[in-house]
């Protein structure tokens, strides 16, 4: 089994508690889903611990003026090199993928999540470091020197990178082989074949005078598959026609 350490450089480590404590992603990222091909360990590093200023600040005003504050390159470098590389026995940056979430990044979608899950969280021997920006962002010199890749959640601005990292981890870890209980479950999900998922039903059979579609109760597997395929098309045309164009 591969083992993968994930480091999150953040000013708000408490953000990650619920992700790590709840659900399938939580148990996978706590290293408790042993049927998976990768065993994970996630650690948060508080960037503030690497500040050398009297009031433990990590930011300063931007050169050239402008609103807000910018995270300092020297403090982020120390968090990365001292807090991760040296403290945890890495040979150097060659052992790590350093990821910054930012509106400038590759836009995250199911295809990117699958690739990230199978490669960055799976086959790639390098461990992963996420850098969570805050304020107006990070001094460009840190990004230039230390960041190997950028991802964006979409064309809007978050107040920090923490939510982006959580979304990335939650959606990508599903693609690490063995993490989802039923091997087929990610294959049936929305976007896998460019379509939305078909509608799902469970007990009770009758709910507020609405019945479960009869075909699902008849036990004819071929007919069920045909119905599911047709419903996927219908759902996609109705809710996300853009996926079909
Ligand atoms: C308030 S934002 C800074 C936005 C920056 N001034 C800009 O205009 O691009 C603070 C941090 O949130 C994160 N962030 C903001 N929007 C994001 C997005 N769409 N995807 C991923 N991370 C994002 C980045 O790490 C960023 O440094």
Strands laid side by side in the 127-131 sheet:
38-46, 2-10, 127-131, 96-107, 149-152
Evaluate whether residue 234 is within a structural domain: yes
Q: Which of 33, 17, 44, 10 is nearest to 173 (CA)?
A: 33
- Give the three-class secondary structure for 151: strand
Output the residue whose Cα is nearest ligand 1's atom 2. 159
Does 184 score more than 80 pLDDT? no
Of 173, 204, 227, the position where a domain reaches its end is 173
Output the residue whose Cα is nearest ligand 1's atom 9. 103
Distance CA 117, CA 132 (A): 19
pLDDT digits (tens, 9 = 90+) for 35-52: 778 899 999 999 999 999
Does 65 score more than 70 pLDDT? yes
Same domain, 88 and 206: no
Report the separation in Å between the CA atom of 65 and the middle of ligand 1, taken as the mean of its atom positions: 19
Same domain, 143 and 232: no
pLDDT digits (tens, 9 = 90+) for 86-121: 999 999 999 999 999 999 999 999 999 999 999 999
Domain count, the chain: 2
Active site residues: 103, 136, 174, 189
Q: What is the pLDDT of residue 181?
A: 73
Same domain, 9 and 124: yes
Same domain, 13 and 78: yes
Q: How many C-beta neighbours within 10 Å does residue 153 have?
A: 20
CATH number at residue 233: 1.10.1270.20
223: containing domain: 190-244
Mean pLDDT (whole number) for 211-231: 98
Is pTM beyond 0.85? Reply is yes
Same domain, 67 and 166: yes
Band of residue 1 on the pLDDT scale cut at 50, 70, 90: confident
Mean pLDDT over the full length of the chain:
95
Q: How many CA atoms lie within 13 A of 62 on its CB side?
A: 14
| The dihedral sign for the CA sequence 166, 167, 171, 172 | negative
Evaluate whether residue 180 is within a structural domain: no
- Ligand 1 pocket member 62 (CB < 6 A): no
- Ligand 1 pocket member 137 (CB < 6 A): yes
Of 119, 146, 173, the position where a domain reaches its end is 173
Cβ distance 8 to 17 under 8 Å? no
Evaluate whether residue 100 is within a structural domain: yes
Report the separation in Å between the CA atom of 225 and the middle of ligand 1, taken as the mean of its atom positions: 42
Evaluate whether residue 203 is within a structural domain: yes
Mean pLDDT (whole number) for 174-193: 82
Report the separation in Å between the CA atom of 106 and the middle of ligand 1, taken as the mean of its atom positions: 13
Same domain, 231 and 153: no
pLDDT digits (tens, 9 = 90+) for 9-29: 999 999 999 999 999 999 999
Evaluate whether residue 200 is within a structural domain: yes
Nearest atom in ligand 1 to the alpha carbon of residue 160 is 12
Which of 10, 15, 58, 103 most suits a substitution to test ligand 1, by most atoms within 8 Å of the C-beta? 103
Same domain, 49 and 128: yes
Q: What is the pLDDT of residue 182?
A: 62
Same domain, 167 and 203: no
Q: Is the peptide bond before 150 cis (omega within 30 degrees of 0)?
A: no
């Amino acid at each position: 089994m591969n083992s993968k350490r994930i480091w999150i450089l953040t000013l708000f480590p408490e953000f990650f508690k619920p992700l790590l404590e709840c659900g399938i992603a939580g148990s996978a990222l706590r290293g408790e889903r042993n049927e998976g091909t990768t065993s994970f360990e996630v650690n948060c590093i508080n960037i503030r611990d690497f500040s050398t200023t009297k009031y433990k600040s990590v930011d300063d005003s931007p050169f050239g003026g402008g609103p807000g504050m910018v995270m300092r390159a020297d403090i982020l470098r120390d968090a990365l090199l001292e807090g991760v590389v040296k403290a945890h026995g890495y040979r150097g940056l060659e052992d790590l993928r350093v990821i910054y979430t930012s509106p400038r990044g590759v836009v995250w979608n199911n295809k990117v999540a699958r690739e990230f899950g199978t490669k960055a969280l799976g086959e790639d021997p390098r461990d992963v470091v996420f850098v969570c920006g805050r304020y107006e962002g990070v001094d460009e010199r840190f990004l230039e020197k230390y960041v190997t890749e950028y991802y964006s959640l979409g064309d809007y601005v978050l107040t920090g990178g923490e939510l982006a990292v959580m979304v990335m981890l939650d959606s990508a870890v599903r693609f690490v082989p063995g993490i989802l209980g039923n091997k087929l479950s990610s294959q049936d999900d929305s976007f896998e074949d460019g379509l939305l998922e078909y509608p799902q039903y469970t007990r009770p059979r009758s709910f507020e005078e609405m019945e479960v579609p009869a075909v699902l109760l008849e036990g004819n597997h071929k007919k069920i598959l045909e119905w599911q395929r047709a419903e996927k098309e219908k759902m996609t045309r109705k809710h996300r026609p853009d996926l079909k164009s």
